[in-house]
Amino acid sequence: MQYRRLPPLTLAALTVATISAAQAQSTATIYGRLNVSLEHAEASGAPRDRAVSRESNNRSVIGFRGAEHLGDGYQAVFQIEGSLALDTGTGPSLANRDTRVGLQTPAGLVFVGHWGTPYLLSTSTLDPWYPTTAGYMALMANGSAPSTNHLGNTASFDRRQQNVVQYWTPAWQGFAGRVAYALNDGETGPNGSRPDLWSASLSWEGGPWSLSLAHEAHRGYQGPGLTDTATKLGAAYRAGPARLTGAIEHLRYETPLGALTRNAFFIAATWQIARFNLRASFTDADQGHGPAGARVGFVSAGDATGARQWTLGTDYTLSPRTGLYAYVSRIDNQARAAYDFAINPLGVGAGETPTVVALGMRHSF
């Protein structure tokens, strides 16, 4: 058999075409969010008063995401995301935020990695201050865990979980579901427990409405055979330039002393006027109910253990990717409560009232 030698120009053209065809089957994107604010924060009330002026980083990130098309509706997907400390110029890790590798199929998305739980994601978009110092995680979900395993934070239900497997269903008739399981990676909890986590959510969108229901269970976080649970219902309604959002939540911790429970709700309203987006929100955390001395995170049992948070501000759009914002946020702690800002905490004692006034800028790319 004789082989015909191709002319150099023809061979080069075929090589370029082959490479282009391969590259056309995959995509990769660099993205990020830079978010920083100048703040004046203080905490007044017993037993001390103090004030601080500071520059605060509001979870700035840089990341890489992409997909490879495998044919027949299948894609291999990946994302690597890390935090940036815009105020100090440091970054603790290349992949300490939403990071995963997975497979997108006609039957849904399945992936493994380090990711926000379905419980967190079910209502995070309802809060106009997420993620800043004024975020609703100060009271809702018992604080925030931006990156944690089963031992690093055993209180918060607003968490980005390590060693997690997730499945997201395709959307159908406006419905979509998500479920996650965080494996025990050799972690030993209190009294020899082997903690793990389940999280699930169901959402629906139709017309101006969106609804979500989420539930999460932490098994063995407080000890062998003890399970902490959280259940949350969220809703949003849009009417022209206005949007009203809200969520209600029930937390239940099984402690060695007995069950500790707490209810909370959140409501927010936004109004778009030209480039201004006016925003207001209110969060109420009821006092904890349970045996005397029971406490998990910010939640404790007994009288005068509740708190309320008020936030008022505005966002000004410079472009689809850049904006300025300003707000004032205040947490009114009852005499035995010590709730603090979940992002950029001030450090408060029981009965103190932390307040923050902020002027910030954000840019996405």
269, 244 contact by CB (below 8 A): yes
Q: What are phi and psi of 107, to 5 degrees?
A: -95, 5
C-alpha distances out from residue 140 to 36, 175, 200, 266, 305, Å: 23, 25, 17, 8, 14
Digitized pLDDT (tens) for each residue of the chain, 365 residues in all: 443 444 544 433 333 333 344 444 899 999 999 999 999 999 987 666 778 999 999 999 999 999 999 999 999 999 999 998 888 887 667 899 999 999 999 999 999 999 999 999 999 999 999 999 999 999 999 999 999 999 999 999 999 999 999 999 999 999 999 999 999 999 999 999 999 999 999 999 999 999 999 999 999 999 999 999 999 999 999 999 999 999 999 999 999 999 999 999 999 999 999 999 999 999 999 999 999 999 999 999 999 999 999 999 999 999 999 999 999 999 999 999 999 999 999 999 999 999 999 999 999 99
C-alpha distances out from residue 119 to 38, 112, 134, 177, 229, Å: 31, 17, 20, 11, 11
Structure tokens at 231: 């259940």
The candidate with the shortest Cα–Cα distance to 344, out of 56, 33, 137, 36, is 56
Sorted by where each starts, the structural domains of the chain and their CATH numbers stand as: 43-54+112-364 (2.40.160.10)
Position 37 scores a pLDDT of 97
Query: Hey, which residues does 357 pair with through a beta bridge?
Result: 40, 328
The candidate with the shortest Cα–Cα distance to 284, out of 312, 247, 259, is 247
Report the DSSP pairing between strands 196-206 and 209-219: antiparallel
215, 229 contact by CB (below 8 A): yes
